[in-house]
Chain A
Amino acid sequence: MSTRADAGTLASASDAAARQPRGGVQPPSRGGRPGRSSARTKARIAELAFLVPALVYLVLFFGYPVVKNLLMGFQAYTTKTFFTGEAPFVGLDNYAAVLSSSLFDKALLNTVLFTAGSILGQFVIGLAIAVFFRRSFPLNNVLRALLLLPWLVPLIASAAVWRWILDTDYGALNRALQLLPFVDGNPAWLTSTSLALIAVIGVNIWLGIPFNATILYGGLQEIPEELYEAGALDGATGWRAFRHITWPLLRPVVTVVLVLGVVYTLKVLDIILGLTNGGPANSTQTIATLSYVRSFKEFDFGQGAALGNVLVLLSLLFAVVYLRLNRKAVDE
């Protein structure tokens, strides 16, 4: 017993010595001295105490909701539950109801279109702006700072102003369009079923450009200028310099921007509720907004949870598939 304890103490002491390579401050190893072990345990507990509040918070406000949603997905969780406290398990009923609803296909398609369209637009325009701002010119810093504004303003405030800009009869956009000679008619941006999704994607692109441009600009700044100078000697300028120098070196940052972008866009809710409330005729309803409607409009929390879980699954699927593909591409 005692030998094992000693061995353990020694092991952890040498472990500690090995993990404390910064010489001078750490006193020389006092291996088998009694009390050392409990002092170490105490120090260890003191260290862990730093993490406890965060761990408790993360478990309560992320862990618990995820588990709770998984459970709720299998329960008949309705207004009645709040009075009786009963939420009987109903197996896969919620998922069956959710998936068989004709609205689900529409919402899934809208989610994919909304995410793909938003990311594509944000990324391409954001990258173009980032490349542009690599030039040095007067006021560059000021303009780049101002670019952040649309991203920092509350989403719902942006949604409100866009609603008025996109108004069919008096909106600024249509009034500007009427000034053009070849346009006639007033596109009903937010009130026609064929245009609403496009309009919502457009607004979301506008919202995402600052983030994309800023992160990509940061990535571009990391690329050493000498590479371009060396490339220029070999005749790589302009588009070829971008293709053969900028793009490969920007790849890690591109990965971050795209993964974060998709993950954030999948769960977007504010901007859609603010612009169209999912309408007209569900033409801008996504999985996220549908989940909200089921839970908080129809008080069917079971179905809302089922949809929320589908959303998490989509997110996970994307992250795993993308990171896999990306790793493969980098390996090759």
Chain B
Amino acid sequence: MPISTAPAEGVDDGAPVTNAAKPAAHRWISTAVGVVIIAFMLFPLYWMVNVSLQSGGGAVATPWFPAAPSLDGYVQAFNDQGRNLVTSLVVSLGSVVLSLIIAAPAAYALAQFKIRWATWVLFGVLITQMIPGIVVANALYSAFSDIGLLNSLPGLILADSTAGVPFAIIVMRAFMGSIPPSIVEAARVDGAGQLRAFVSVVLPMSRNALITAGLFTFLFAWGDFLFALTLTTTEDVRPVTLGLYQYIGTYVSDWSPIMATAVLSSLPAIVLLLVAQRYVAAGVTGGAVK
């Protein structure tokens, strides 16, 4: 996929032709190329689904297509990992709630209040992105062990939010900066306190930003592997990511339940992309380039 593909087209045309003026056939060729690119990129995900639907996918070559799909893999995946899926769901939802409660007021304060050291706080938030998860896990392990948060849902929720909180602050601050201060001030003049103005005016207006931040916080916590690996030691609280990792270690004789688990663990991402695509797109760009 050399960079020169797009420019080469300009040469073909001879003159700068606007896209709309191109013949329809030409544009469908681009679509075909695009489909090939995406097919290459999504092949592993197709393979995941394909293998998950094969029955008795032992140590033999998997057929290229699920000609005779079987749900045995999923049955076993639910038997082995059902509990872990629930744990993942609880931890992820908990992390969304915690992250938004912490991040929304902070994002608002950073966006709207005239606080002199606000840039320093924001800088600190950005710096957190450089701190490796293993450093956090290293310190949290001993701290959690002292206060009894190892192998607990609250412990995982707190640790998993290390991805969500900074991200949510950055995304929501960018949005809340565009709320006209006069709207908030109007509410304040009507006698609303700072907190009430925030809850009844700012939050409803920031619905989209809250959804975007919430979606990604969910996906971050759902996909977390490092904290699950380091901060749990028993099977009591075991997210599906860790369940999958242990599957790979022990079960390699039959790949269909492993891939069924992988598909199940990928479902939230797929569903969210289908139903909330515009929020996802907003989050990807909003998080990196404010």
Contacts and interface: CB of A to CB of B under 8 A. Distances in A.
Nearest to B286: A218
B181 A65 contact: no
A104 interface: no
A218 B281 CA distance: 10
A146 B31 CA distance: 14
B3 A57 contact: no
B129 A209 contact: no
Interface in A13-48: 19, 22, 25, 43, 46-48
Interface string B21-53: 000000110110111011001101101100100
A22 B181 contact: yes
B222 A154 contact: yes
B67 interface: no
B161 A315 contact: no
B132 A315 contact: yes
B82 interface: no
Chain B interface helix/strand/loop/mixed: helix
Contact of A54 (B169, B219, B272): B169
Interface stretch (A4-12, A90-98, A288-296, A324-332): A288-296
Contacts of B131: 62, 65-66, 312
Interface in A110-157: 124-125, 127-129, 131-140, 143, 145-157
B14 to A, nearest CB: 9
Given A172-B62, A295-B141, A152 B272 contact: yes
Nearest to B113: A47
Contacts, number: 337
Contact of B138 (A146, A155, A291): A291
Nearest to B194: A46
Nearest to A318: B130
A214 B223 CA distance: 20
Contacts of A237: 7, 10-11, 16
Shortest Cβ-Cβ A-B pairs, 5 listed: A238-B7, A54-B106, A267-B132, A65-B139, A152-B269
Interface of B: 1-11, 15-16, 19-20, 27-28, 30-31, 33-35, 37-38, 41-42, 44-45, 47-48, 51, 59-62, 101-103, 105-106, 108-110, 113-115, 121, 124-125, 128-143, 145, 158-159, 161-162, 165-166, 169, 181-182, 185-186, 189, 193-195, 198, 219, 222-223, 225-226, 229-230, 241, 244-245, 247-248, 255, 258-259, 261-263, 265-266, 269-270, 272-273, 277, 280-281, 284-285, 288-289
27 contacts: A22-B181, A25-B182, A47-B109, A54-B121, A61-B162, A68-B138, A72-B139, A129-B1, A131-B6, A132-B30, A139-B34, A143-B34, A143-B35, A143-B37, A145-B277, A150-B41, A150-B44, A156-B241, A157-B244, A157-B263, A164-B258, A169-B59, A214-B284, A237-B7, A291-B134, A312-B131, A315-B130
